[in-house]
């Protein structure tokens, strides 16, 4: 080895970047070694696990894994868009596509994998894609603009990600999976069926047990359909192949390195290739000593650490295999598997909980001695962070308690602090509980961000952050360190404590609260973006009791609000705003429908019927909002509060009035509830629904508070949540009269508003609050704390003092003065708000939003990004 060795890395994906970080950690960059990276893609390493989030608004820059100054700080030569073409092991040289040649002392292959495209006729037609890189996504996005349907070949992890992307792009979407179930590697038949049912409910058509036989194309060479192996046909405009990956080992084969029979570069426990000790292979291109090619990022990270240690001549345990547990969200559905998920161990037993109505499936595999061997979680993977570390041990409670829902004998919260020190908390970086504890006790880390930086825990997929936070806080408290649970850097109090301070002292001013109860170092400041909206919400929710104005834009209150509240409308991506009139219970007269149509037509707005039984109108400039709302208020509409942390909607079915299954008047109840709680400011948005029978057409159990009719009255469910982290609501009380129902909802909502944290949904609050559902039931049903009269009085004050914010705004010229694009040119419209036609409506001009391309600097010059 030369005095200053040269280390060449071929490939700069997630594993390649982790290898560079591991080298830097071991002092093997800068003056200690020349590090050269040959990268095929035109951009540095990015988070391929979160690739689909690009379609949710994240930019390629957001996905980057490379800190701004990392490459320059460590003197790394990163050659973007210049992949390695040949390796000469005799002279130890690598030649890149550009002709650049470099001699190495150690060569690390991190070439990853390539998508497998089945050899079906027509696979090269226009409209056929793979789903692997950001460039693939850019091509898919562009092609999808001119088609209406798309199909994905492959129902595994990446295939379902691709299907989610097509669905998000507005295409009629199909998934074709050759195996008899979706995600055949990770889940069993029961989990696959639950996943399929939920995905099909979202409008995605699933075909299992069949393969693609032929891709058909029109005269222009573009995809028109796909013939399947069972003789059926899918009419589709584009096809994405996501039928698995293969190790990218061609470069290794060409230079004479030994590869496995089914691919993969053979390596030893130090990740050295079996053929040449100067060459290493890591990640998806490597065939580990256990005979496996690992297609997950966590094993790749372990390999990166192992190879870096070997190159730095440090002692290492070596890589002999890895945990393949996974937790992810596919089309909004939580899916997790860990350990022996398929029950391959001899004599093992299954403990299964399944609720096909809600799409929840949980299976634990238990050994004959009671050891937890593995499991599958679909639809509700909340327990993954605790169950995975428990794998290989006997849980402290019965397996049944770990899978049953609340109210049916579970769930039992063991808590990460009860796990042994050797339990792996962060699977991506193989960080144990003991390492996290040591970060607090030995390295003086006092916050979760400090522990993340010290251990890398929680910086991968993020599924362990909740457990990590609990561990850090528990460890701090065990060491006699008071955990700062203050709302932010301005206040040492929690949101619930600040609520009580405001209510008890009758404070109506943020400035007064900051002066009397803020941290000393914050009293001379103006507050922060965390506490100002939270305090504004508290004051607004208590306004009738405090004798304050409930109007959110009066005086100081205006400065406390979030962006949307400033203009009483939702800001959209192109700078325009949406208008959402309240339509209680989804019931609307023809006259009001006509008004909405006329307003949308006259102002050129995009209209959409939402899942919450509303008609949304998009594309209004800020200066148009008062004129639009003047017409709507004239017609009897009021604000739907779609912009605020307040009640959004109370969805309903048609109930017994029209439906032959209905047993109560769900529409009347929905309207009564929505008019009662409209404008109620809370820690987070509130959604509700009323179903007229147990068939649950209004989806009440996915709401913050939901009502389902019975022949004896109403059942009240609380703590439900749809969206990105779904949770089934829990039954609070049953067979209630109208008066009993309203009284319990009053109490529940006011208790939540009083005790929840900032931006905490009822679902998260119910799981966090000590005692959970049982405690909430004791308080709001049985009045265990003697608070119910007070909670009811607070709600009565709100109902009595409700005023429509837009009606009040239109009556006050001073309030109207804020609705301008430019303060210094109030009559000038915003020229950046532009639209283009699509499907007989208008949409934001996405080309304008994209803006100019940004250059990326390389060693040889710049390339457009």
Identify whether the C-beta of residue 139 lies closer than 8 Å to the C-beta of residue 133.
Answer: no
Name the nearest CA neighbour of 726 among 258, 449, 360: 360
Lowest mean pLDDT among 70-84, 247-261, 314-328, 365-379: 314-328
Give the model's pLDDT for residue 863: 38
pLDDT of residue 1: 45
Q: For residues 8-44, b (16+ Cβ closer than 10 Å) or e, as one string? A: bbbbbbbbbbbbbbbbbebebbeebbbbbbbbbbbbb
Residues in a beta bridge with 90: none
CA distance 525 to 367: 59
Kind of pairing between the strands at 713-718 and 705-710: antiparallel
Instruction: Give pLDDT, residue 634.
Output: 95
If you average pLDDT over residues 205-211, what whole number do you get?
93
**In this prediction, what percent of the chain has a pLDDT beyond 90?**
47
d(CA 653, CA 666) in angstroms, rounded, equals 7
Range(s) for CATH 3.50.50.60 in the chain? Answer: 6-114+247-311, 117-243
Q: Which of 23-27, 215-219, 546-550 has the lowest mean pLDDT?
A: 546-550
* Structure-model confidence comparison of residues 556 and 411, the more confident one: 556
Kindly state the helix (H) or strand (E) to which residue 328 belongs, with its residue range. Answer: strand 326-330
Q: How confident is the model at residue 824 (pLDDT cuts 50, 70, 90)?
A: low
Task: For 626-677, write each residue's pLDDT tens digit.
Answer: 999 999 999 999 999 988 899 999 999 999 988 888 899 999 999 999 999 9
> Residue 461: its pLDDT value, please?
64
pLDDT exceeds 70 at position 769:
yes
Return the minimum-mean-pLDDT range out of 58-62, 243-247, 502-506, 551-555: 551-555
Residues 6+ apart with CB under 8 A from 652: 585, 586, 613, 666, 667, 669, 670, 671, 689, 690, 691, 692, 698
CATH topology of domain 640-803: Sulfite Reductase Hemoprotein; domain 1 (3.30.413)
pLDDT confidence tier of residue 415, bands split at 50, 70 and 90: low
* Domain over 6-114+247-311 is classified CATH 3.50.50.60: yes
The mean pLDDT value of the chain amounts to: 86
Is the pLDDT at 327 greater than 50? The verdict is yes
Please tell me the predicted confidence (pLDDT) of residue 414: 63
Tokens of 522: 């914050």
Mean pLDDT for 686-696 is 93
Separation of alpha carbons 586 and 806, rounded Å: 20
How far from chain centre, in Å, is Cα 51? 12
Res 859: pLDDT = 36
Pick 636 or 835 by higher pLDDT: 636
* Of 50 and 310, more confident: 310
Q: Regarding the domain delimited by 117-243, which CATH topology (the fold level of the hierarchy) does it fall under? A: FAD/NAD(P)-binding domain (3.50.50)
Question: Which of the four pLDDT bands, split at 50, 70 and 90, describes residue 864?
Answer: very low
Which residues contact residue 452 at a Cβ distance below 8 angstroms, ignoring those fewer than 6 apart?
458, 459, 468
Q: What is the mean pLDDT of residues 301-321?
A: 86
Third-level CATH fold of 325-414: Enolase-like; domain 1 (3.30.390)
Residues 6+ apart with CB under 8 A from 6: 33, 34, 35, 36, 102, 103, 104, 105, 106
Residue 846 has a pLDDT of 62
Query: What pLDDT shows up at residue 11?
Result: 95
pTM of the predicted model, to two decimals? 0.56
Instruction: For residue range 252-300, list pLDDT tens digits in order.
Output: 999 999 999 889 999 999 999 989 999 999 999 999 988 889 888 888 9
Give the pLDDT score at 851: 45
Which one, of 496, 489, 546, 547, lies nearest residue 519 by Cα? Answer: 489
- Residue 737 near residue 707 (C-beta atoms within 8 A): no
What is residue 438's three-state secondary structure? Answer: helix
pLDDT one-digit tens code per residue, 784-800 = 999 999 999 999 999 99
pLDDT in tens, 581-613: 999 988 999 999 999 999 999 999 999 998 888
Q: 403: how many CB neighbours lie within 10 A of its CB?
A: 26
Write the CA distances from 399 to 350, 371, 376, 616, integer angstroms: 9, 10, 13, 46
Task: Spell out the residues 6+ positions from residue 754 whose beta carbon is closer than 8 angstroms to its own.
Answer: 496, 499, 500, 791
pLDDT winner (highest mean) among 179-188, 472-481, 709-718: 709-718
- Residue 865, pLDDT > 50, answer no
| Mean local confidence (pLDDT), 820-831 | 66
**Residues 304, 296: Cα–Cα separation, whole Å:** 13
Strands laid side by side in the 570-571 sheet: 570-571, 577-579, 615-620, 606-609
- Using DSSP bridges, classify how beta strands 286-287 and 326-330 pair: parallel, antiparallel or unpaired: unpaired
Exposed, middle or buried by CB within 10 Å (0-12, 13-18, 19+), for 331? buried
Neighbours of 299 (CB within 10 A): 26
Cβ burial of 164 (10 Å; 0-12, 13-18, 19+) is buried
Element (H, E) at 510: helix 510-517
CB 773 within 8 A of CB 732: yes
pLDDT of residue 630: 95
DSSP, residue by residue, 119-150? --TTTTSBTEEE-SSHHHHHHHHHHHTT-SEE
Three-state DSSP state, 741? helix
How do residues 747-768 score in pLDDT, each as one tens digit? Answer: 999 999 999 998 899 998 998 8
Element (H, E) at 706: strand 705-710
């Amino acid at each position: 080895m030369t005095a200053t060795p040269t280390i060449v890395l071929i490939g700069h994906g997630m594993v390649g970047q982790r290898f560079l970080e591991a080298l830097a950690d071991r002092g093997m960059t800068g003056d200690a070694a020349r590090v050269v990276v040959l990268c095929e893609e035109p951009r540095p390493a990015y988070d391929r696990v979160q690739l689909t989030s690009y379609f949710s608004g994240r930019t390629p820059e957001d996905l980057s894994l490379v800190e701004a100054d990392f490459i320059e700080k460590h003197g790394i030569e990163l050659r973007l868009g210049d992949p390695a073409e040949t390796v000469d092991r005799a002279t130890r040289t690598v030649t890149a596509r550009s002709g650049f040649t470099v001699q190495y002392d150690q060569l690390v292959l991190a070439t990853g994998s390539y998508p497998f495209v089945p050899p079906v006729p027509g696979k090269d037609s226009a409209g056929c894609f793979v789903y692997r890189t950001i460039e693939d996504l850019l091509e898919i996005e562009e092609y999808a603009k001119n088609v209406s349907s798309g199909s994905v070949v492959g129902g595994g992890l990446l295939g379902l990600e691709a299907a989610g992307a097509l669905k998000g792009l507005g295409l009629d979407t199909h998934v074709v999976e050759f195996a008899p179930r979706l995600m055949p590697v990770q889940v069993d038949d029961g989990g696959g069926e639950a996943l399929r049912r939920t995905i099909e409910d979202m409008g995605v058509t699933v075909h299992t047990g069949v393969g693609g036989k032929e891709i058909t194309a029109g005269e222009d060479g573009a995809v028109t359909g796909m013939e399947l192996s069972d003789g059926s046909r899918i009419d589709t405009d584009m096809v994405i192949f996501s039928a698995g990956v293969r190790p990218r080992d061609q470069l290794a084969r060409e230079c004479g390195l030994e590869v496995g029979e089914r691919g993969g570069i053979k390596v030893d426990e130090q990740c050295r290739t079996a053929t040449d000790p100067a060459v290493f292979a890591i990640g998806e291109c490597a065939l580990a000593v256990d005979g496996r090619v690992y297609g997950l990022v966590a094993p790749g990270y372990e390999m990166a650490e192992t190879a870096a240690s070997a190159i730095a001549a440090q002692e290492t345990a070596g890589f002999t295999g890895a945990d393949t547990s996974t937790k992810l969200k596919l089309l909004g559905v939580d899916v997790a598997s860990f350990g022996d998920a398929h029950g391959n161990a001899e004599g093992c037993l299954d403990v299964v909980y399944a609720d096909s109505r809600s799409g929840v499936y949980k299976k634990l595999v238990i050994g004959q001695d009671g050891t937890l061997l593995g499991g599958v979680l679909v639809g509700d993977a909340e327990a993954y962070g605790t169950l995975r570390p428990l794998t290989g041990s006997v849980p402290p409670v019965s397996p049944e308690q770990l899978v049953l829902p609340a109210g049916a004998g579970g769930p039992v919260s063991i808590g990460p602090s009860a796990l042994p020190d050797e339990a792996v908390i962060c699977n991506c970086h193989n960080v144990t509980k003991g390492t996290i504890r040591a970060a607090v006790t030995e390295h003086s880390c006092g916050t979760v961000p400090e522990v993340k930086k010290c251990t890398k825990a929680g910086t991968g997929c993020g599924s362990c952050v909740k457990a990590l936070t609990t561990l850090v806080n528990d460890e701090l408290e065990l060491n006699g360190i008071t955990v700062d649970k203050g709302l932010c850097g301005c206040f040492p109090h929690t949101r619930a404590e600040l609520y009580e301070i405001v209510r008890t002292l009758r404070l109506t001013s943020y400035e007064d609260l900051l002066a009397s109860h803020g941290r000393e170092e914050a009293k001379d400041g103006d507050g922060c973006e965390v506490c100002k909206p939270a305090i504004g919400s508290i004051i607004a929710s208590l306004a009738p009791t405090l004798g304050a104005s409930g109007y959110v834009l009066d005086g100081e209150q205006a400065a406390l609000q979030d962006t949307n509240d400033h203009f009483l409308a939702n800001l959209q991506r192109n700078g325009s705003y949406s208008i959402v009139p309240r339509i209680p219970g989804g019931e609307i007269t023809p006259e009001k429908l006509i008004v909405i149509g006329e307003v949308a037509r006259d102002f050129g707005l995009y209209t959409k019927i939402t899942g919450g039984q509303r008609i949304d109108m998009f594309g209004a400039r800020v200066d148009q909002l008062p004129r639009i709302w003047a017409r709507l208020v004239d017609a009897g509409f009021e604000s739907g509060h779609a912009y605020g942390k307040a009640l959004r909607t109370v969805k309903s079915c048609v109930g017994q009035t029209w439906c032959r299954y209905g047993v109560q008047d769900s529409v009347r109840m929905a309207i009564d509830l929505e008019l009662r709680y409209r404008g109620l400011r809370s820690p987070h948005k509130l959604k509700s629904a009323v179903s007229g029978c147990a068939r649950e057409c209004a989806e009440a159990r996915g709401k913050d508070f939901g009502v389902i009719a019975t022949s004896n009255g109403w059942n009240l469910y609380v703590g439900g949540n749809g969206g990105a982290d779904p949770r089934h609501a829990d039954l609070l009380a049953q067979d209630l009269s109208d008066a009993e129902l309203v009284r319990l909802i009053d109490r529940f909502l006011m208790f939540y508003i009083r005790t929840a944290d900032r931006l905490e949904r009822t679902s998260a609050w119910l799981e966090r609050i000590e005692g959970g559902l049982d405690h909430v039931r004791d308080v709001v049903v049985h009045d265990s704390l003697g608070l119910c009269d007070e909670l009811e009085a607070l709600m009565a004050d709100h109902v009595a003092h409700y005023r429509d914010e837009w009606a009040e705004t239109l009556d006050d010229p001073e309030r109207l003065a804020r609705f301008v694009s430019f303060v210094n040119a109030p009559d000038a419209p915003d020229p950046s708000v532009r639209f283009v036609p699509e499907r007989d409506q208008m949409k934001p001009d996405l080309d304008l939003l994209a803006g100019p391309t940004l250059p990326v600097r390389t060693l040889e010059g710049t390339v457009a990004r």
